Structure 1
Amino acid sequence: MSERFDLIVLGAGSGGLSAAQSAARLGARVALFDPDALGGTCVNRGCVPKKAMWFAAQIADMHRLGAEIGFEASTPRLDWARFRALRDQYIAGIRDRYATRLGTAGIRVIAQAARLVASDTVLTDQGVEASAPHIVIATGASPRRLDLPGFELGMLSDQVFMLDAPPQHIAIVGAGYVAVEFACMMRGLGCRVDMLVREHLLTGFDRELVEALAVQMQAHGIRIVREARIESARGEPGRITLAASDGIEHGVYDAVLWAVGRVPNSGGLGLEALGVERDEAGHVLVDVGQNTSVPGVYAVGDVTDRRALTPVAVAAGRALAERLIGGQAQAKFDDPVIPSVVFSEPPMGAIGLTEQQARARYGDAVNVHTGRYTPLLWKVAGRSGQSVVKLLSVGEERKLVGIHVLGVGSDELLQGFAVAMHKGLYWRDLKSTIAIHPTAAEELLLLH
Structure 2
Amino acid sequence: MVVLPLAVGALVVHSLRDANGGGTADRVVFGGFALAVAVAVLVWNRGFAQGRRGASTGLTWLGLVARGPDGRPLGVRRSLLFAPRQVVRRVTAIDEGFAAIEVDLTPAQLRLRRVAGLLALLVLLVVLLVASVAVGSRPLSFGEIWHGIVPPYDTTPTEADLIVRDLRTPRTLLGLVTGIALGLAGGLIQGHTRNPLADPGILGVSAGAACAVVLAITFLGVTSAVGYIWFALAGALVTSLVVFGLASVGSSSPSPVCLVLGGAAVAAFLSAVTSAVVLLDQTTLDAYRFWVVGSVAGRGLEILLPLLPFFALGTVLAMVNAPGLNILSLGEEVARSLGTSVALNRTVGITALTLLAGAATAACGPIAFIGLAVPHIARAFTGPDYRWLLPCSALIGAIMLLTCDILGRVAARPGELQVGIVLALVGSPFFIALVRRRKLVTL
When the two structures are superposed, what TM-score results if normalisation uses the length of structure 2?
0.26
Q: Which has the higher strand share?
A: 1
**Taking structure 1 as the reference length, what is the TM-score of the superposition?**
0.26
Higher relative CO (Cα under 8 Å, sequence separation at least 6) belongs to 2
